[in-house]
Amino acid sequence: MSVPDGGGVAMEIYLGIQRRGYSWIFPKRDELSLGIGCRMDLRGDMRREWRTFTEKIREEKGIGLDFRRKSTFRVPVRRTGSRLTARRSLLVGDAAGLVSPVTGEGIYYAIYSGRLAAKIIAEAAERKSPLYIREYDIQLQNRLVPELETAGFVADVLFRSERSCEIVCDIASKDETMRDLMIDFVTGSRPAKKLRIPIAKRLLTRHPLKALRLGLNV
């Protein structure tokens, strides 16, 4: 879908159209990228949900959509405790399932794990010890996995139901501090593990009834 460069909102996210996922509109050069995504084990009729979303955009935005270029793909998500190394090999980025359980974003994790992998491989070669490659698993477990676990916690709360999405969005629309915390979380401008307690604390102290409805358990 081609659009003029008129500034304005950088992106739009839509919750509630599908379970455990979201729909989006992202700018891409002089075009917009539209899509939907969700967990495969909880997916419904994706074709129907896609039609629902695109019709919503046509009606609300009053624009025509051209979908000559369409694509689908899967985003692998790492299982807790899975090893990412063998004796002489290791996995990074999407191949390792290092993606956010909330957004499906993986560029940051790909860059981080790729740089860490290069460092560990160089050290293993210098030490002449193939077994040193296990240090990659150890360092990821200490540094990156807590981030992914926190994202998983947020995903569990946010995507529990359509009502949960509505509650979270209502809080963000009325509470500027909470909105800023959520933006920091989604954009990755602050480490997720450092945002978990501030987000939970803000919910429990300023929005206790809504926190109860969300089933918040920290």
Domain-located, residue 86:
no
Number of domains present in the structure of the chain: 3
104-125 CB burial, b ≥16 within 10 A, e <16: bebeebbebbeebbeebbeebe
Q: Note whether 167 and 210 are within 8 A (CB).
A: yes
Same domain, 103 and 130: yes
Same domain, 174 and 112: no
Domain-located, residue 178:
yes
pLDDT at 4: 45
Domain-located, residue 80:
no
Domain-located, residue 173:
yes
Domain-located, residue 61:
yes
Domain that holds residue 159: 149-214
Domain end among 84, 117, 143: 143
pLDDT at 165: 87
Same domain, 157 and 139: no
Percent of the chain with pLDDT over 70: 94
- Any idea which residue has 């994790």 for tokens? 109
Same domain, 11 and 56: yes
Domain-located, residue 59:
yes
- Confidence check: pLDDT of 6 > 60: no
pLDDT at 76: 84
Same domain, 65 and 126: no
Same domain, 126 and 108: yes
Same domain, 104 and 39: no
Domain end among 82, 116, 143: 143
Q: Higher pLDDT residue, 69 or 106?
A: 106
Quickly list DSSP for the chain.
-B-------S-EEEESSSTTEEEEEEEETTEEEEEEEE-GGG---HHHHHHHHHHHHHHHH------SS--------PPTT---B-SS-B--GGGGT---TTT---HHHHHHHHHHHHHHHHHHHHHT-GGGGHHHHHHHHHHTHHHHHHHHHHHHHHTS-HHHHHHHHHHHHH-HHHHHHHHHHHHTSS-HHHHHHHHHHHHHHH-HHHHHHHT---
Same domain, 14 and 66: yes
Domain-located, residue 180:
yes
Q: What are phi and psi of 148, to 5 degrees?
A: -65, -35
- Confidence check: pLDDT of 20 > 90: no
Domain-located, residue 85:
no
